[in-house]
Structure 1
Amino acid sequence: MTQTYTHSPRPVGGPISFAIKGDRLIVDSGRKVHEVRLGAVETMRMTYEPGRIGQKSFRTKVTMKDGKTFAFSSLNWRSLIEAQEMTTEYRAFAQALCETIAKANPEARFIAGKPWWLWFSTTAIALLSLLLMAYLIWQALQMGSTGVALIGALLAIVGVWQIEPMVRLNKPRVFSSDTLPEELLPKAR
């Protein structure tokens, strides 16, 4: 059985189609068709990519032994302002691709989250920003500027709401090819 997945990864541009055929992946961008030997995969990395308000985006990136990469996400852009979440399709294709890669190359690594250096940098900047915001709020209260303190508190809350999932979900870790990280997949409906 051939497993397929098609999505438009950007607001502008055409769709990209992926089809798993045996131990190969056919990638059709509309301009070129590439055939990828899945036995040459070095890593498959799944991440959370913050989207617009109310939309979450998940991304799978595959790196080959020669350094070439390809990626696909859970969002299908229909226009500059409209994106569709590809929940069922993304989950099914990511699982099928993971299983096929594991069969084709048992030494392939399956990684959830961002690289350590990027995750640590994001976490450190987020914590520093929150500490600075707390200091701003404290200073505003000391000076009697309740309005500035309230605006600072509102910005801190919005910051935590936006940054917390990036830090929590993108913590680097390995996963098994037969059990994808549920938190890095769109919620099944």
Structure 2
Amino acid sequence: MTDDTDAPVYRQRPKPFGFEVTYRLDPAHLFVDTGRKQERIPYARIVACRLSYRPANVTSQGYRADLRIEDGRALRLGNLSWKTYFEADRQDDAYRAFITELLARVAAANPKLACVAGRPFWIWALGALAGAAMVAALAVAFAVALANAAWPLAGLTALFLVPLAGQAWAMARRNRPTPFAPPSIPPLVLPKPGRSG
């Protein structure tokens, strides 16, 4: 069988100074070109997929798909394509479209595909507790600074408290473990439409 040159393609640099990886949805398999190796993974051999919200820092909106192949190997792709350690392109629309189509093809080839949104339960629970504890500690520090009229300290604490609280809430809400069927991907683990580059 020949490759489909008009097949959907997604490109991403998953690490700041690594190679760009190309993924292509051919008729019977997922084609992966890492720059050093090319591989064809039959859709039927993909047995599980986990979609999660994975921001790289407080300002980024990162999403990731973890695919597990029947031989135990894992394949990861996300919406952030890194230029440097501090700069990444968001490829939200391309990532969303590619993941949606990929899961539809895999589910058609493997009806037993296991799909889960969010992080594993124990990681999610520990992360939620740690986030709540950090936010609570900062809130207490803010209240103490206000009570003692330590205005610079109160301002500095508030500067960190607001974004940290927002990020902790987003991580807990978006990454709650939830099984799903490929036609109904939970919107919290995919970027919103309308953003590319």
- Calculate the TM-score normalised by the size of structure 1: 0.89
- Aligned alpha-carbon RMSD (Å): 2.0
> Which of these residues, 33, 36, 49, is aligned with residue 31 of structure 1?
36
Query: Secondary structure, in 3 states, of the residue corresponding to 1:178?
Result: helix
1:97 has 2:83 as partner = no
Flag structure 2 segments of 5+ consecutive residues without an equivalent: none
What's the offset of the Cα at 1:26? 1.3
Change (3 A) 1:53 1:134: closer
- Judge conservation of contact 1:47–1:112 (CA < 8 Å) in 2: yes
Q: How does 1:154-173 map to 2 (within 5 A)?
A: 154-173=159-178
Number of the residue aligned with 2:71:
66
1:151 has 2:156 as partner = yes
Letter in 2 for 1:36: I
Number of the residue aligned with 2:61:
56
Number of the residue aligned with 2:187:
182
CA distance in 2, matches of 1:116, 1:160: 21
1:105-141 superposed Cα distances (whole Å, 9 cap, x missing partner): 1111111111111110000011112222233334444
Query: Secondary structure, in 3 states, of the residue corresponding to 1:168?
Result: helix
Letter in 2 for 1:12: F
- Judge conservation of contact 2:22–2:34 (CA < 8 Å) in 1: yes
CA distance in 2, matches of 1:53, 1:119: 18
1:21 has 2:29 as partner = no
Q: Tell me the number of residue pairs that the alignment of Structure 1 and Structure 2 aligns.
A: 189
What's the offset of the Cα at 1:83? 2.0
Letter in 2 for 1:166: M
Mean alpha-carbon deviation: is it higher for 117-126 or for 55-64?
Answer: 55-64
Structure with the higher strand share, 1 or 2: 1
- Judge conservation of contact 1:48–1:57 (CA < 8 Å) in 2: yes
Give % identity.
26
Mean alpha-carbon deviation: is it higher for 113-122 or for 173-182?
Answer: 173-182
Number of the residue aligned with 2:136:
131
What's the offset of the Cα at 1:161? 2.4
1:148-174 superposed Cα distances (whole Å, 9 cap, x missing partner): 334333322121122221111111101
Query: Secondary structure, in 3 states, of the residue corresponding to 2:17?
Result: coil
Number of the residue aligned with 2:118:
113
- Judge conservation of contact 2:132–2:168 (CA < 8 Å) in 1: no
CA distance in 2, matches of 1:147, 1:4: 51
Mean alpha-carbon deviation: is it higher for 116-125 or for 8-17?
Answer: 8-17
What's the offset of the Cα at 1:66? 2.5
Query: Secondary structure, in 3 states, of the residue corresponding to 1:102?
Result: helix
Mean alpha-carbon deviation: is it higher for 23-32 or for 53-62?
Answer: 53-62
- Judge conservation of contact 1:23–1:101 (CA < 8 Å) in 2: no
Query: Secondary structure, in 3 states, of the residue corresponding to 1:11?
Result: coil
Change (3 A) 1:149 1:90: same
- Calculate the TM-score normalised by the size of structure 2: 0.85
Query: Secondary structure, in 3 states, of the residue corresponding to 1:26?
Result: strand
